[in-house]
Amino acid sequence: MTDHSLSGLRILVVEDEAMISMLIEDMLLDCGATVVGPAGSVAQAMKALEGQEIDGALLDVNLGGEKSFPIADALTERGVKFVFSTGYGEAGVIDRYPHARTLQKPFMPADLERALAHLAPER
């Protein structure tokens, strides 16, 4: 699977719904990435970030009542790029991260791969 664009990338997955996070995890694994998490809350994500080097992140905006913005801020601080995954009606709230890409649910494995490909370092 060396031809996969995400090979060797360590991706933090933040998604609170178990079944959805399982799907994303599997999709990423299929693309050759290493999954960090998945985290279901801001607290879990912050914990996962401690002492771990990551290359990028996929953040669900709405985590069952809380927003994933603290994670986005922490990532920005570390210079880690990330992609938001959104359901609907969140376009307005992520305006504050104009450089972040967004991936709207539902998405196909290829969409996910494309969205995360830009996180890969130049090679």
Partner 1 sequence: MLSGGGEMAGRIEAHDWSSTPLGPIHSWPTSLKVAVGICLQSSFPVAIYWGDDLRLIYNDAWAPIPAERHPWALGRPGAEVWSDIWNVVGQQLQDVVTASKGFVAYDQMLRMRRQGAVEDTHWNYSFTPILGDDGRVWGVFNQGHETTDRVLHTRAQDFLIEVSDRLRAATERGRSPTDVLETTLAALGGYFDAARCGYCEFEDGSVGACRAEWRRDDGVVSVPPGRHDLKDYGVAMAAATVAGEVIVRDDLDADPELSDEERERFRRLGVAAKLVVPISREGRAFAFVFVHADRPRRWRSREIATLRDVVDRMSFAYERALATHRMEQSERRFATLFSQTAVGFAELDLDGRVVRANESMRRLLGRGDEVQGLPIEQLLHPLDREKWRRLLAQNARDGESFGIEKRYVRPDGSEVWAVSTVTRLVGERSSPGEFFVVTIDVSERREAERLRGLLVAELNHRVRNNIVTVQSLVRHSRINAVTPQEFETALDARLAALARAHDLLMRETWTAASLGELVVDTLAPYAIGREGRVRSQGPTILLAPTAAVTLNMALHELATNAAKFGALSNEEGRVNVSWTVKQSAIDLVWSESGGPVVAPPQRRGFGRRLIERGATQELGGAVTLSFAPSGVTCAFRIPLSQKVMAP
For residues 21 and 68, which CB has a smaller minimum distance to partner 1 in the complex?
21
In whole angstroms, give the CA distance from residue 38 to residue 68: 13
For residues 22 and 78, which CB has a smaller minimum distance to partner 1 in the complex?
22
27 neighbors 112 (Cβ within 8 angstroms) = yes
In whole angstroms, give the CA distance from residue 66 to residue 64: 6
- Least Cβ distance, residue 122 to partner 1 (angstroms): 31
For residues 8 and 106, which CB has a smaller minimum distance to partner 1 in the complex?
106
Nearest CA to 15 out of 98, 112, 120, 119 is that of 112
- Least Cβ distance, residue 121 to partner 1 (angstroms): 28
In whole angstroms, give the CA distance from residue 40 to residue 31: 22
**Which positions lie near partner 1, rule CB under 8 A?**
16-23, 26, 37-41, 44, 62, 64-65, 87-90, 104-107
- Least Cβ distance, residue 115 to partner 1 (angstroms): 15
